[in-house]
Chains A and B, each alone.
Chain A
Amino acid sequence: DAGVIQSPRHEVTEMGQEVTLRCKPISGHNSLFWYRQTMMRGLELLIYFNNNVPIDDSGMPEDRFSAKMPNASFSTLKIQPSEPRDSAVYFCASSAQPNTGELFFGEGSRLTVL
């Protein structure tokens, strides 16, 4: 079975540009999470969806960030406009039983904003 698939793996962009990160969860998993990881702040939850519905977006830093899950097999995280402080590794994770705390992470998208 394929794991969680994220794209792009690496993105370098200039400040002010729009960035779109994509995620395909494991088939059959009904919960999807977006995390951001930096050295300073560690792994932070941005938003999570259950059955394609956003449940908690309290971790989304500000209005520049938005996330969608139009169907069970696809989610996007968009940053517009991007800023240097957004540079981080963005992980998508999915779970079949989120109550268990078992998350399956994708390989991550490393974003660098110049």
Chain B
Amino acid sequence: QKEVEQNSGPLSVPEGAIASLNCTYSDRGSQSFFWYRQYSGKSPELIMFIYSNGDKEDGRFTAQLNKASQYVSLLIRDSQPSDSATYLCAAKANSGYALNFGKGTSLLVTP
């Protein structure tokens, strides 16, 4: 079974702080990784993807990948109440198009 594991949370951070969301995966064949954000009652939307070891920055978001440790993380700087949502980590193997999602981490940013 190819697992993507996330702490369900909720993770509570004060406004302006850095939120750190973590994800581990079991399938070493996974080559690309994605972070989707899902607001309550809404559908998931892609916010970041990362293919290579290291960091990738996009605005307030930084994705980090360590393939040796099978670990992916998402950092959100200067967290805002509007960042409050569930963040889904997903992994994809090189072959095929299927994304394997974790169950998500709920983030609450308090004013």
Q: Which residues of A contact B (CB under 8 A)?
A: 31, 33, 35, 41-45, 48, 50, 55-56, 91, 95, 98-103, 105-108
Contact = CB atoms under 8 A, between A and B. Distances in A.
User: Size class of B's contact patch?
Assistant: 20 to 34
Contacts, number: 52
A50 to B, nearest CB: 7
B43 interface: yes
A67 to B, nearest CB: 14
26 contacts: A31-B97, A33-B97, A35-B101, A42-B101, A42-B102, A42-B103, A43-B44, A43-B88, A43-B101, A45-B100, A55-B96, A56-B98, A91-B43, A91-B44, A98-B97, A99-B97, A100-B49, A101-B32, A101-B34, A101-B49, A101-B90, A101-B99, A102-B46, A105-B44, A106-B43, A107-B43
A95 B46 CA distance: 12
A108 B49 contact: no
